[in-house]
């Protein structure tokens, strides 16, 4: 990002040329996969990249760390268990969508039966995608999710474009929207007769982001503990709604369920309804972003996915059924927050419990988003697609501190934008374009690397079905509502940035960049990861203990 002369590159190679040294990386993370040394491996698209600037002046700091910490190495530790993995997926999926999206879906398909079909279809599409990602996650055991898979299959340029939009717009926007939703529902009981002041909402949202960023910087275990607690809380909240609805159903209140498939359905509206439904399922692929911190990823990625998606789909369908038992179609269309109307009708003065449920759900969602965003930024920096300071790890906490701070900073900036939700609508098709590209990459890797060992290999019908679903979700909204093309424009604008990197255009003086990197290292007590140790962690034999000693 500051450019690097050829002399500097040669000097860096000479100082750290050994495979276990701290010089440039000579192999991709995939080359250190859970495979025997004789097995064929995928090549790293960026291993021979001329942009590999390396690295940091770390000799003095490294010796100090060794003296202070004994033999402790600077890497991301495998502290994420299967239970934590389920918490990440479920916690990131269940946000505010289930409390709000029923209105948006019913508006597009005004039929109880077809609305439930949309929710089930959204869960099915997400489950099919998760099956494909289970194969990708075990085939390419790198952190980064879509970004890593697109880079392995198609190279640096599309991966860089995907990363840029995620880092600058999508991730900060989602985190800001969740934090604002949390703050708005927390303040609702304080302002029952009017909307809460926007300044108070933004201030509370900023406090939420800063608090959770601190926890994520402080400890992986603390962050996972918060994720598990709030995931359990939001599941419990939805179970309360489900039980209430089932009790009413048992009493014979089926007035709103008569003739469930009445009404005319438009094909274009079905596509938009699927968009809203799939928005409520967003997050099903987030565990793949933290692969390098997951214990036994070749086993726990598919296990976590297969536990989480059926659980969430069942909860969503039953929750919507409970809504339709209690809330009339007219009330659903007149109230954007279906859960609030449900609470007012069923709980009376205790209806304040619904804002509490939404707050718990979104707070856990913010934590999960921050945790995965930091790892995505870290993965991008490890491939020199972001400034290398974001690849560094805090030497005492073993967390990607600079990446987490940058993620929080971008989210705080997004809080000032008056149209974050509209921006996310414009970019929603980019997310499905990325998911579709990742699964196309899966088919491409099957053809180009047929002998690469795959712990999981899904039937060919599932990737094809998911790609067709992605194409439908991309094309139909462009026909019915061309606003999302703004996302494509934002993608195309990134080509000049990539071209400038390809030409080694020196954006900032090299001496200034090096000084700034070292200054940040000293301030935050961070170092680049020990790549040789990371490789050893990925090469642990089957049955070895993945837990930290």
Residue 385 DSSP label: S
Beta-bridge partners for 394: 526
Query: What are all long-range contacts of 489-497, with beta carbons under 8 Å and residues at least 24 apart?
Result: 490/165, 490/169, 490/427, 490/430, 491/161, 491/165, 491/430, 494/160, 494/161, 494/164, 494/165, 495/161, 497/164
Tell me how far apart the alpha carbons of residues 328 and 167 are, in angstroms, rounded to a whole number. 41
Asked if 85 contacts 285 with a C-beta cutoff of 8 angstroms, the reply is no
- In the chain, domain spans: 51-538
Phi, psi at residue 393, to the nearest 5°? -125, 140
Tell me how far apart the alpha carbons of residues 441 and 198 are, in angstroms, rounded to a whole number. 44
Which letter, b or e, does each residue of 96-122 get, where b requires 16 or more Cβ atoms within 10 Å of its Cβ? bbbbbbbbbbbbbbbbbebbbbbbbbb
Tell me how far apart the alpha carbons of residues 83 and 153 are, in angstroms, rounded to a whole number. 30
Quote the pLDDT of residue 497.
60
Asked if 139 contacts 483 with a C-beta cutoff of 8 angstroms, the reply is no
Asked, as a colleague might, if the bond just before 9 is cis with ω within 30 of 0, I would say no
Helix (H, G, I), strand (E, B) or coil at 294: strand
Tell me how far apart the alpha carbons of residues 449 and 245 are, in angstroms, rounded to a whole number. 51
* Inter-helix orientation angle 112-139/267-280, to 10°: 60
Contacts of 40 (CB under 8 A, 6+ apart): 449, 451, 452, 453
For domain 51-538, give its CATH number from 3.30.70.890, 3.40.50.300, 3.30.360.10, 1.20.1740.10.
Answer: 1.20.1740.10
- Closest residue by Cα to residue 76 from 359, 304, 400: 400
pLDDT along the chain (549 residues), means of 10: 41 41 37 36 38 39 39 78 94 86 84 92 94 92 92 90 86 91 88 85 95 95 94 93 93 84 78 83 91 90 93 95 90 82 88 88 94 94 88 91 95 83 67 91 92 89 94 76 58 55 60 84 88 47 41
Beta-bridge partners for 526: 394
The burial of 291, by beta-carbon neighbours within 10 Å (0-12 exposed, 13-18 middle, 19 or more buried), is given as: buried
Quote the pLDDT of residue 426.
64
Residue 98 DSSP label: H
Query: What are all long-range contacts of 501-506, with beta carbons under 8 Å and residues at least 24 apart?
Result: 501/51, 501/160, 504/3, 504/4, 504/50, 504/51, 505/3, 506/2, 506/3
Asked if 46 contacts 384 with a C-beta cutoff of 8 angstroms, the reply is yes
Tell me how far apart the alpha carbons of residues 332 and 323 are, in angstroms, rounded to a whole number. 9
Quote the pLDDT of residue 537.
46
Q: What is the DSSP string of 172-209?
A: HHHHHHHHHHHHHHHHTTTSTTSPPPHHHHHHHHHHHH
Asked if 249 contacts 51 with a C-beta cutoff of 8 angstroms, the reply is no
Tell me how far apart the alpha carbons of residues 162 and 72 are, in angstroms, rounded to a whole number. 34
């Amino acid at each position: 990002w500051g450019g690097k002369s050829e002399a500097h590159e040669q000097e860096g190679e000479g100082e750290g040329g050994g495979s276990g040294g701290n010089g440039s990386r000579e192999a991709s993370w995939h080359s250190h996969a859970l495979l025997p040394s004789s097995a064929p491996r995928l090549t790293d698209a960026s291993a021979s990249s001329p942009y590999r600037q390396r690295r940091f002046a770390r000799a003095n700091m490294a010796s100090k760390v060794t003296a202070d910490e004994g033999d402790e190495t600077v890497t991301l530790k495998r502290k994420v268990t299967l239970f934590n993995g389920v918490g990440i997926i479920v916690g990131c999926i269940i946000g505010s969508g289930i409390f709000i999206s029923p209105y948006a879906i019913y508006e597009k398909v005004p039929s109880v039966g077809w609305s439930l079909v949309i929710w089930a279809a959204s869960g099915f599409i997400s489950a099919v995608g998760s099956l494909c990602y289970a194969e990708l996650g075990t085939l390419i055991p790198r952190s980064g999710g879509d970004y890593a898979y697109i880079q392995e299959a198609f190279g640096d340029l599309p991966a860089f474009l995907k990363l840029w939009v995620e880092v600058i717009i999508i991730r900060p926007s989602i985190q800001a929207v969740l934090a604002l939703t949390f703050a708005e529902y927390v303040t609702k009981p304080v302002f029952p007769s009017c909307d809460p002041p926007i300044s108070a909402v933004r201030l509370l949202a900023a406090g939420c982001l800063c608090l959770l960023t601190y926890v994520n910087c402080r400890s992986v275990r603390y962050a996972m503990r918060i994720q598990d607690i709030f995931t359990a809380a939001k599941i419990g909240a939805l179970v309360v709604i489900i039980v209430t609805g089932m009790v009413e159903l048992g009493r014979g209140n089926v007035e709103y369920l008569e003739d469930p498939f009445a009404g005319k359905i438009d094909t274009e509206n079905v596509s938009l309804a699927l968009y809203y439904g799939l928005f409520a399922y967003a997050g099903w692929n987030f565990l793949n972003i933290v692969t390098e911190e997951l214990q036994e990823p070749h086993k726990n990625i598919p296990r976590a996915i297969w536990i989480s998606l059926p659980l969430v789909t069942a909860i969503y369908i039953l929750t919507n059924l409970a809504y339709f038992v209690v809330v009339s179609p007219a009330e659903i269309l007149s109230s954007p927050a279906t859960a609030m109307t449900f609470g007012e009708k069923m709980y009376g003065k205790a209806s304040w419990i619904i804002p509490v449920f939404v707050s718990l759900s979104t707070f856990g969602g913010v934590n999960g988003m921050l945790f995965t965003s930091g790892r995505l930024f870290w993965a991008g920096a490890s491939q020199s697609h972001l400034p290398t300071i974001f690849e560094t790890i805090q030497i005492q906490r073993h967390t990607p501190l600079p990446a987490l701070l940058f993620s929080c900073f971008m989210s705080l900036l997004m809080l000032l934008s008056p149209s974050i939700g509209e921006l996310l609508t414009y970019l929603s098709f980019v997310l499905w374009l990325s998911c579709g590209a990742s699964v196309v990459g899966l088919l491409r890797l099957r053809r180009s690397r047929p002998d690469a060992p795959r712990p999981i290999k899904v039937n060919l019908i599932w990737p094809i079905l998911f790609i067709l679903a992605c194409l439908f979700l991309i094309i139909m909204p462009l026909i019915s509502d061309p606003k999302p093309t703004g996302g494509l424009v934002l993608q195309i604008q990134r080509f000049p940035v990539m071209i400038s990197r390809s030409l080694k255009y020196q954006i900032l003086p090299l001496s200034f960049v090096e000084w700034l990197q070292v200054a940040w290292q000293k301030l935050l007590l961070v170092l680049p990861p020990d790549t040789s140790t990371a490789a050893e962690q990925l090469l642990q034999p089957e049955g070895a203990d993945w837990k930290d000693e």
